[in-house]
Structure 1
């Protein structure tokens, strides 16, 4: 049994709960005040191309940091005793671009040629929206944020290409405008929304059926508001087809010791 609510834990304490298998859920709303990161763990011979892909597509792939060298799994820049192999609730494995397994840790599959990339996550800016009095529906309903494939193309880099994935939070129009103002201060965690309103305009056929995460209630008079999402690299990985790579499982982030306030440009 957890000794404290996960949302009240420090990032270090939450990572220890995750490492011990005591916390297995999505990390939205957890360890308030600290940066959460998407992960992409890429073989070294693909790493430079993936780095260029992130640099060319900063909205869906905002680079927070990366391992100093291949094989490094202790990432001191992310916080105290951060072990990339164990400190995320769930990981997605890929072989030749195809998802093969969801695993709770990487201890049995880690390799010395793997390079870890940490990418900004929308869960970080959710705190700023909540602090301003805006509702985050997926947190209210206790589910993972809904995420969708779109027809918005990313800029290719080497073998990496594909369309953007977006996360969605429904809001009344006034709240959506305020959300744009707030999130513009956080370019390192996806920044301002990329679209609001008609989902068909960005290639989403059925808003009630997300490609990743969970559906949430959209009330009468609300607009769906879409942010670039860190699941985008998973589609790029499927295009590049590296022999082996790893990402976080959608919604299950690396919670760092980096304060969200360090990412604000204002």
Structure 2
């Protein structure tokens, strides 16, 4: 894949190390983060896909179960959203067997342009399950700790690599701060309305990239909180101002969002 759309991330985990065998009976937690608020404050990042190379010892009866959460612009884990893999037409993981000495697979989740979204940190939870065949096309899954039959080969697991694919875009926080400043201190007559229209356009473009669901997530508030370092009360005031302005416009329908960032 071209380096232009390959994003380097920092891997952090207290549970395991890459390329080291571990007992997969317990849940493992890892995260990849770009540390943009510290190192790349003038960039925002789009997620196109995630790939993990996972190996199992020979004849192991386990398979990995991966769960992902996304922080769009930073913040705590409580400010992340769950990736609904294989739900409501959302993509599923694809496993490709590799020609390596162990049972190794590339597990890839491809979002592409249809499902792309902002990301700063990706939280990865790895569980394991035992797959038993009870019919031609029927499989039952159990958590390994629930199985006491010593004949079952749980084996060991290791993660050789984790990659996040996407691209970065230039971001100018000072330009947004300038627009927000004009809500209270317009430069000229009419510049306040122009600033509000521009902020509404930015808000809508950001929120449009929220995950699928009945209601969009309020990603714009996360942008204000974590990239512009605004207080919660400032964010509430900006939203109220934009909603009041939108209600005065003809042929404009505002929409409800779900709060993500505190």
TM range (shorter): under 0.3
Select the structure of larger CA radius of gyration.
2
TM-score, normalised to structure 1, is 0.26
Name the structure with the higher strand share: 2
Q: Which of 1 and 2 has higher RCO (CA within 8 Å, sep 6+)?
A: 1
TM-score, normalised to structure 2, is 0.27
